Amino acid sequence: MMELLVKELINAVEGKLVNGNTNVKITGISTDSRKITKGELFVPLKGERFDGEDFVKDAVSSGAVAVITADLRNVELLKDTTVAVIYVKDTLTAFHEIAAYYRKKFDIPFIAVTGSSGKTTTKDMIAEVLSKKYAVLKTGGNFNNEIGLPLTIFRLESYHQIAVVEMGMSGIGEIKRLKEIAKPQVAVFTNIGVAHIEKLGSRENILKAKAELIEDFGENNVIVLNADDDMLVRLPQTYRGKYYKYGITNGDVKAYNIEKDERGVRYVLKVRELEKRVELSIPGMHNVYNSLAAICVGLEFGVSVEDMADALREFKPEKMRLNIIDGGKIKIIDDAYNANPDSMKAALTVLRDLDSKRKVAVLGDMLELGEYSKEAHKDIGKFVLECGIDVLVTSGNFAKYIAEEAKICGMNSSNIFICKNNEEANKVLDSIIKEGDLILVKGSRGMKMEQIVHHLQERVK
């Protein structure tokens, strides 16, 4: 992070300096008192289980030279110290205002990626493609919310030429707030599914919430969208700006002659009159779409098709995202990072398409679906049967509906195992796993399905 002065922060947040002086230099910004280093600003935020204001003293002890606070107790606590203390009405709002101020220091394009699923992989592929020509900053992991996005922006350095950020949301207004901080020039839409339908009630409302990203887009902006998605094609064409539309069935940037196996996916890219063979080292038809989105962004920023093909061939996904682990006697598809109905179906399709003696699906709860939870899990149960999965193991209170529906639809009950938790699932797997099995492990982040992956890995050592 480039240095900031306290007086800059005061102007950015319209706060009041109640201690210290305005010329204190800030070398970093943190919201975690446990990770503060000397010279940083501490911004205490309120979470579900903690209040950062309670840890201001710890942050100062660890080296914080400045503090933003909305708590008069901390004003009193830090008086007569050398720490610069800026008093504000709301620390989260101040955090966002500082991030917006810092972003304005960089005259570089931002690409924002949103959608119901595939955001992180698409963001990473875009960054990989652009890195063939530019110095790229990208969102780490899935730091895609009102805290993660500002923290990403604070990682900007003078040498960065372009930034790729991920934007998630669970309700109306959230994408708009993130957009106002990052000011993206390019918006990339992956798909509109049912993730977060608990709060929004319908896919139409999810589309509306995602479309906040392009509400004020003008002629100098660019929109990249999946033309095969039945909801995204409804984005009002009245939005000014340049469009790139990608897909397998529809779009200007298309993939055909698709081949898939355990090594990954291969296809022929067609962009107008140009054709180029593209190879991905990760499986899944959904990753064809993710890569097409990345290619659209690369085309916009002048990356050659040859360089993009090289970048995509070299691309490796983050941990717990469709990583195939060869355990010798068995193979594991580790997709434990998170799950919603769309990504669950995508992972099951990968399991279906890969060769193996026996296909085993270990599926956990999909969370944040509200009143749709039961039906959404039952729908996955039907899909398990359609994919020809040999063995189904479920873990969690909602995942049992996957198992029950698979049984109702005709799956052999002797190959269905309903478990309350991961510990039970591990015991079941110990008793049923055979040499030659291909095992998919997937569930929402809160289910910690990586516990099962680790257990399987230990078992086959």
Query: Strands, E, within 281-343: which ranges?
Result: 323-326, 331-334
- As a whole number, mean pLDDT of residues 190-214 equals 86
- As a whole number, mean pLDDT of residues 337-350 equals 93
27 marked among binding-site residues: no
201 marked among binding-site residues: no
304 marked among binding-site residues: no
Task: Tell me which of 130-139, 240-249, 286-295 is least confident.
Answer: 240-249
Q: Rounded to two decimals, what is the model's pTM?
A: 0.88
119 marked among binding-site residues: yes
* Amino acid 237: pLDDT: 67
Q: What share of the chain is helix, strand, coil (3-state, %, to 5)?
A: 40, 25, 40
Look at residue 238 and tell me whether its pLDDT is greater than 80: no
115 marked among binding-site residues: yes
Pairing relationship of beta strands 222-226 and 162-166 according to DSSP bridges: unpaired
* Amino acid 140: pLDDT: 86
Mean pLDDT, the chain, rounded, equals 94
**Residue ranges of domains in the chain, CATH in brackets:** 4-98 (3.40.1390.10), 106-314 (3.40.1190.10), 323-459 (3.90.190.20)
33 marked among binding-site residues: no
Look at residue 239 and tell me whether its pLDDT is greater than 80: no
* Amino acid 196: pLDDT: 66
Both tokens of residue 391? 């063995």
* Cα–Cα dist 20/6, whole Å: 9
Mapped onto helix, strand or coil, the DSSP state of residue 388 is coil
What's 188-229 look like in SS3? EECCCCCCCHHHHCCHHHHHHHHHHHHCCCCCCCEEEEECCC
121-147: pLDDT as tens digits: 999 999 999 999 999 999 987 789 999
381 marked among binding-site residues: no
